[in-house]
Structure formats: structure tokens, C-alpha cells
């Protein structure tokens, strides 16, 4: 009997394995997106599920949406229409080749998006108009059409970009997004950068880290970037060491009027100061408005309390007051017309 059961189990396992091998049974059949929380944010993880498009049956309150390692080829204009609360969106390691206009417009709460390791040829320009987008990962895409799209980009952009990753994107220069007063880290490694332009660093007045490893920038450009970061008080940790000794200023002029002394750089600083001042006054206005609201609520509560106490006193006084009734003496026939009425207490 035991031998028979063993043989049946072996046959069953062999049949199942054969069906899996020939595709009669899907190994991922029955798998579902998992729900959970990360730092109090609603997270839905649809990782490595062989999805062909963004699922539309998830909870609309999702804030962290992981769609990585799937087979999504196209993002449509209605892909995220239901998920307007998404703050962190992971779309890396898909097969995304195109993005329809308006796809990311509903994601006004989006703070970070990862589109790395896809087949995109440009960055969706609407991402730069999202009001809260801080981190953008576009590495390992062949962004050969980015240059011509950036020529039509409306600047200054609305997104407060702080971190931009465009590594390994076949770029010949760093992207020109206009003045970016919030950008502090830029990863442009593993790109040719054969047309690297120092002037564009004038747009990045708060740049602190730039990764230019595995690029083809010239030794002079390398030295200029290093000195530029040093002038900003930043650490040149990720600037490639292109020479054993510093180049002579005649062979490699610093030309700081093109970077830290340029009008663009000072305009960037002004934008940052205005944004900081605006933020301070918005905070102050919020505090004042909140205090005023609390004061109004307090005054309203005091008014209601006094009104209730006054009504309570009047009610008690009415209950304690003696009632008057018409005296029977007024009913006598011999009462004169000008004689006053008599009242008796109840």
C-alpha cells in the first residue's frame, strides 16, 4: 500500500511539472496584489505578477503603489485616474515604451516616481508640472528624444525636484530643465556627456552631489565641476578624478562668471529665497489663521455658555414667581367702572 501511494505521488508530481513546463498551468495563477502599510501609508504591492497594464481594481486610497517587474508596455491616460492619492510610484523593470499625454496629471500628490529600466526615449514632460514631485528616477532608459522635448519645456518647472537620476541614458549633456533651486543631487553617470556644458550648473544653485563617473567629460570639465562644487561648499565625492594634478589655469580657465558668479546662478538663489520667504509667510499665515479660528471658537463657546446660563436663570426666576389670578370680587355687579381690578396671588 505504501509503495502504491508513493508511486501515485511521483506520477502526480511528474504530471504537474510537465503541465507547468508546457504552459498548461500558470505558476502565477491565483496570485494577488498584497496590501499593507509602510510608515502609516497604504501600500499595494503588485510586484512581479506578469501584469500587462495597470490594474483598475485596487483600493483608490493607495499611497504607495509598486508595479515593478511586470510586462507593462504602455501607460494610458486613464491608468492612474482612480489613484489620485499615490505618493510613491514604482514602475521600474517593466517594458514601458510610451506614455500617453495626461497619464500622470491626476497624481497631484506624487512625491517620487521610479521609471528606471524601461524602453522610454524621453521623460514625460507632464511630470515636471506635478506640484509635489521631489524624486525622479529615469536611469537605464535610452532618452534619445529628450533633447528635442526639453526645447519645448515651459520653464520654470512647477515640480520641486530635489533628486534626479538619469544615469545610463545615452545622454551627451546634462538635461536643461531651467532653474532648479531645490535640486541637491544629480546622477548623470554612465553617459557619454561628450557635449558637457558647465553653463548649465548655474541653474543648480543648491547642488551638493553630482555623480559623473563612467562618463567622457574632459579633464578640464572635471576640474571645473570639482571647483564649482567646492565653491558651493559641497563635497566632490562623486566627481571623477580625471587627473593626477590640477591643470594650469591657462589650460583650463575656471570662468566662474559662467557658474557661481553668473546671472543665472543669482537668479536661482533669488528663486530659492523667494520660495523660502513664501513658505515662511504661508506658515505664518497658517498659524495666524489657526489661532484666529481657535479664538473665534473659544468666543463662540463662551457666548453659548453665557446664553445658556442667562436662559437658565430666567427659567428659574419664572418658576419661582407667584402667579396672579382674577379676584372673584371683580365679578360683583356693584363694582364701578373706574374702580381698579383686584388680583389675588395663586
Kindly state whether residue 194 falls inside one of the protein's structural domains.
yes
- What are 268's three cell numbers? 536661482
Residue 73's nearest CA partner among 58, 49, 91 is 91
Kindly state whether residue 290 falls inside one of the protein's structural domains.
no
pLDDT tens readout for residues 97-127? 999 999 999 999 999 999 999 999 999 999 9
pTM of the model: 0.72
Kindly state whether residue 122 falls inside one of the protein's structural domains.
yes
pLDDT tens readout for residues 282-332? 566 667 777 778 888 888 888 888 888 888 877 777 677 655 555 565 555
Kindly state whether residue 344 falls inside one of the protein's structural domains.
no
Kindly state whether residue 24 falls inside one of the protein's structural domains.
no
Residue 119 contacts residue 168 (beta carbons within 8 Å)? no
Q: Over 90: is that where the pLDDT of 25 sits? A: no
Kindly state whether residue 294 falls inside one of the protein's structural domains.
no
Residue 303 contacts residue 295 (beta carbons within 8 Å)? no
Residue of 225 and 7 predicted with greater confidence: 225
Residue 82: what pLDDT? 96
**Domain count across the chain:** 1
Kindly state whether residue 193 falls inside one of the protein's structural domains.
yes
Residue of 205 and 240 predicted with greater confidence: 205
In sequence order, which residues have a C-beta less than 8 Å from that of residue 90 and are 6 or more positions away? 65, 66, 67, 68, 114
Residue 151's nearest CA partner among 126, 176, 183, 181 is 176
Domain residue limits at 170: 32-274
CATH number assigned to the domain comprising residue 150? 3.80.10.10
Kindly state whether residue 3 falls inside one of the protein's structural domains.
no
What value does the CA radius of gyration of the chain take, rounded to a whole number of Å?
37
Alpha carbons 65 and 70: distance in angstroms, whole number: 13
316 Rama class: left (phi>0) / alpha (psi -120 to 50) / beta: alpha
Amino acid at each position: 500500500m505504501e509503495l502504491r501511494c508513493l508511486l501515485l505521488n511521483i506520477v502526480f508530481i511528474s504530471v504537474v511539472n510537465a503541465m507547468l513546463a508546457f504552459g498548461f498551468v500558470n505558476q502565477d495563477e491565483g496570485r494577488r496584489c498584497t496590501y499593507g502599510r509602510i510608515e502609516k501609508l497604504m501600500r499595494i504591492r503588485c510586484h512581479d505578477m506578469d501584469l500587462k497594464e495597470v490594474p483598475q481594481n485596487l483600493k483608490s486610497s493607495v499611497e504607495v503603489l509598486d508595479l515593478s517587474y511586470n510586462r507593462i508596455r504602455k501607460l494610458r491616460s486613464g491608468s492612474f485616474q482612480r489613484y489620485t492619492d499615490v505618493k510613491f510610484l514604482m514602475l521600474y523593470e517593466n517594458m514601458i515604451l510610451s506614455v500617453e499625454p495626461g497619464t500622470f496629471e491626476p497624481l497631484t500628490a506624487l512625491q517620487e516616481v521610479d521609471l528606471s529600466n524601461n524602453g522610454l526615449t524621453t521623460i514625460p514632460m507632464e511630470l515636471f508640472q506635478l506640484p509635489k514631485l521631489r524624486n525622479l528616477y529615469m536611469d537605464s532608459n535610452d532618452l534619445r528624444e529628450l533633447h528635442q522635448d526639453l526645447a519645448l519645456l515651459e520653464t520654470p518647472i512647477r515640480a520641486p525636484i530635489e533628486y534626479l537620476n538619469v544615469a545610463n541614458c545615452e545622454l551627451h549633456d546634462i538635461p536643461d530643465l531651467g532653474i532648479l533651486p531645490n535640486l541637491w543631487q544629480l546622477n548623470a553617470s554612465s553617459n557619454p556627456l561628450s557635449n558637457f556644458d558647465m553653463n548649465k550648473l548655474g541653474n543648480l544653485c543648491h547642488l551638493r552631489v553630482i555623480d559623473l563617473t563612467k562618463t567622457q567629460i574632459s579633464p578640464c570639465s572635471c576640474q571645473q565641476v570639482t571647483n564649482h562644487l567646492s565653491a558651493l561648499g559641497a563635497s566632490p565625492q562623486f566627481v571623477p578624478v580625471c587627473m593626477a594634478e590640477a591643470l594650469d589655469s591657462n589650460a583650463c580657465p575656471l570662468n566662474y562668471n559662467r557658474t557661481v558668479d553668473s546671472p543665472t546662478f543669482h537668479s536661482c538663489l533669488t528663486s530659492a529665497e523667494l520660495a523660502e520667504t513664501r513658505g515662511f509667510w504661508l506658515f505664518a499665515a497658517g498659524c495666524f489663521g489657526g489661532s484666529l479660528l481657535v479664538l473665534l471658537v473659544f468666543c463662540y463657546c463662551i457666548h453659548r455658555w453665557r446664553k445658556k446660563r442667562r436662559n437658565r436663570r430666567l427659567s428659574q426666576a419664572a418658576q419661582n414667581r407667584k402667579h396672579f389670578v382674577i379676584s372673584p370680587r371683580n365679578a360683583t355687579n356693584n363694582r364701578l367702572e373706574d374702580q381698579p381690578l383686584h388680583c389675588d396671588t395663586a
